[in-house]
Amino acid sequence: MGDRSERGLVKHKRRTTISGEAAGAQAKRSGAAETLSGQVKEKEPRHETSASKQKNHSDAGDDTFSCHKLQESLLSSDSGYSNYRGILNWCVVMLVLSNARLVLENLIKYGILVDPIQFISLFLKDPYSWPALCLIIVSNVFIMAALYTERKLSVGTISESTGTFLHCINLAALLFFPAITVLSVTSMTPVGGVVALGVFTVLFLKLYSYRDVNKWCREIRHAKARTLSRAHSCPSVHKANGTAGYKHVTYPGNLTHRDIYYFIFVPTLCYELNFPRSPRIRKRFLLRRLFEMLFLMQLIVALIQQWMVPTIQNSMKPFQDMDFTRIVERLLKLAVPNHFIWLIFFYWYFHSSMNFIAELMQFGDREFYRDWWNSETIPYFWSNWNIPVHKWCLRHFYKPMLMKGVNRLPAQIAVFFLSAFFHEYLVSVPLKMFRLWAFLGMMLQIPLAYFVGRFLRGNYGNAAVWMSLIIGQPTAVLMYVHDYYVLHYGSAAEGVTA
Q: Give the pLDDT score at 490.
A: 56
CA 139 to chain CA mean position, Å: 32
> Other CB atoms closer than 10 Å to residue 79's CB: what's the count?
11
Q: What gap in Å lies between CA 208 and CA 271, rounded to an integer?
A: 9
CB atoms under 10 Å from CB of 421, counted, come to 14
Whole-angstrom Cα distance, residue 349 to residue 368? 10
For residue 255, the SS3 value is: coil
Rounded to whole angstroms, how far apart are CA atoms 457 and 53? 52
Q: Provide the pLDDT for residue 268.
A: 94
Residue 249 half-sphere exposure, CB side, CA atoms within 13 Å? 19
**Residue 103: CB partners within 8 Å, gap ≥ 6?**
none
Range 326-358 burial, b when 16+ CB lie within 10 A, else e: bbeebbebbbbbbbbbeeeeeebbbbbbbbbeb
Residue 221 near residue 116 (C-beta atoms within 8 A): no
Q: Within 13 Å and on the Cβ side, how many CA atoms surround 173?
A: 16
Active-site position among 167, 232, 390, 423: 423
Return the pLDDT at 489.
Answer: 65
In the chain, % helix, strand, coil (3-state, to 5) comes to 75, 0, 25
Answer for the pair 410, 398: CB distance below 8 angstroms, yes or no: no
Please say whether the beta carbons of 203 and 269 come within 8 A.
no
The rounded distance, in Å, linking the Cα atoms of 54 and 63 is: 11
Residue type at 328? V
Collapsed DSSP state (helix, strand, coil) of residue 230: strand
Q: Which stretches within 266-393 are classed as H helix?
A: 283-303, 309-313, 316-321, 324-346, 354-361, 378-382, 387-393
Round to whole Å and give the CA distance between 454 and 461. 10
What whole-number distance in Å separates Cα of residue 351 and Cα of residue 23?
106
Residue pair 483/433 in contact (Cβ under 8 Å)? The answer is yes
Give residue 434's region: left, alpha or beta (phi > 0; psi -120 to 50).
beta
Distance, first Cα to last Cα, the chain: 150
Whether residue 267 contacts residue 368, with contact meaning beta carbons closer than 8 Å, is answered with: yes
pLDDT digits (tens, 9 = 90+) for 159-188: 999 999 999 999 999 999 999 999 998 888
The span from the CA of 74 to the CA of 197, in Å, is 53
Distance (Å, whole) CA 472 – CA 467: 8
Q: Are 461 and 452 in contact (CB under 8 A)?
A: yes
Which residues of the chain carry a pLDDT beneath 50?
Answer: 1-51, 53-55, 57, 226-244, 491-498
CA–CA separation, 460 vs 466, rounded Å? 10
Do strands 243-244 and 239-240 pair parallel, antiparallel, or not at all (unpaired)? Answer: antiparallel
Q: Where are the beta strands (DSSP E) in 151-252?
A: 229-231, 239-240, 243-244, 248-250
Active site residue 423: yes
